[in-house]
Amino acid sequence: MSLISLLDKYPPRTVQAGTRTFSYRESGTGPRTLVLLHGIGTDSASWVQQLAALAPACRVIAWDAPGYGASTPLPADAPTAADYADALLALLDTLGIGQAMLVGQSLGALMATAFAANYPQRIDQLVLTGPAGGYGAAPAAERAEKLNARIKQMQEQGPAGIAASRGAAMLSEAAGEDLRDFMGACQQRLNPRGYLQGAHMLNAGTLVEDAARYAAPVLVLSGSIDKITPEPSCRAIAQAFPCGYYRSLPGLGHGSYVEGPALVNRILAAYLGLDI
């Protein structure tokens, strides 16, 4: 079955949290809930293989971050990771989720770590995949260059240009055209405002500072040939947690959960104690 056909089984849902709208995809039932946070260039659809594989063991929620899908953008043009963490708290409260197993991919790892640091009592377990650490500690000139490049590209090329230029970097060279097309479709759905808010958050983010404030165990995963968040940076992030563990994913790129779902799902199930 193609990923597009599989995705039809998990259509977006929406819920109101005060004045905010959140969109998300859901599968499964059970006493425990797994919440999946996507990266800057994808959306809830990218988790379709986890929605399918992990549903027998728990409730699975893949959110569209503020400014993605039908989720209301955050009020500030340059939000912080803590702002996304507060938005996630609002969604969990609205859905009646007291504690969540949280998986954050890339930019979603910044959000997940901020949430864990600020609301540790709401975390069941925490996993980061291909975590983006943020550029908050980089020199101002370097940060401005990176941010301006993203802004210019979105303004001049739009989501289609993002998909064309950045899509290939998400996966390894061995990935098939079906996976490339699927990831490209995710990127073409980008909302420019939401993407640029994410870019500002990434530009100011300092994941390692939040990591130091979260004492519980954390698993960090990284594709061995990830070109966007290479293994050395992911290992360093694992080491920034008081109780961080690192595991390499051989032969996989940045979108490891899309490209290598069987391996990633087995690791998640084993670490989180899910019977699939």
Q: Determine contact, residues 24/51, Cβ cutoff 8 Å.
A: no
Q: What pLDDT, on the 0 to 100 scale, is given for residue 177?
A: 85
Q: Please tell me the distance from the alpha carbon of residue 152 to that of residue 20, in angstroms, as a whole number.
A: 28
Q: Please tell me the distance from the alpha carbon of residue 59 to that of residue 57, in angstroms, as a whole number.
A: 7
Q: Percent helix, strand, coil in the chain (nearest 5)?
A: 50, 15, 35
Average pLDDT over residues 209-218: 98
Q: What pLDDT, on the 0 to 100 scale, is given for residue 122?
A: 98
Q: Measuring CA to CA, which residue among 204, 33, 214, 205 is closest to residue 119?
A: 214
pLDDT of residue 130 exceeding 70:
yes
The distance in angstroms from the start CA to the end CA of the chain is 20
pLDDT of residue 39 exceeding 80:
yes
Q: What angle do CA 222, 32, 28 make, to 5 degrees?
A: 85
Query: Could you report the per-residue pLDDT of 137-173, keeping only the tens digit for each?
Result: 999 999 999 999 999 999 999 998 888 777 668 888 8
Q: Please tell me the distance from the alpha carbon of residue 146 to that of residue 184, in angstroms, as a whole number.
A: 22
- DSSP conformational letter for 255: T
Q: Please tell me the distance from the alpha carbon of residue 40 to that of residue 222, in angstroms, as a whole number.
A: 17
Q: Please tell me the distance from the alpha carbon of residue 57 to that of residue 24, in angstroms, as a whole number.
A: 19
pTM above 0.95, yes or no: yes
Q: What pLDDT, on the 0 to 100 scale, is given for residue 167?
A: 66
Q: Where are the domains of the chain?
A: 3-272
Q: Tell me the pLDDT band of 184, cut-offs 50, 70 and 90.
A: confident
Q: What pLDDT, on the 0 to 100 scale, is given for residue 208?
A: 98
CATH topology of domain 3-272: Rossmann fold (3.40.50)
Query: Could you report the per-residue pLDDT of 45-69, keeping only the tens digit for each?
Result: 999 999 999 999 999 999 999 999 9
Average pLDDT over residues 214-225: 97
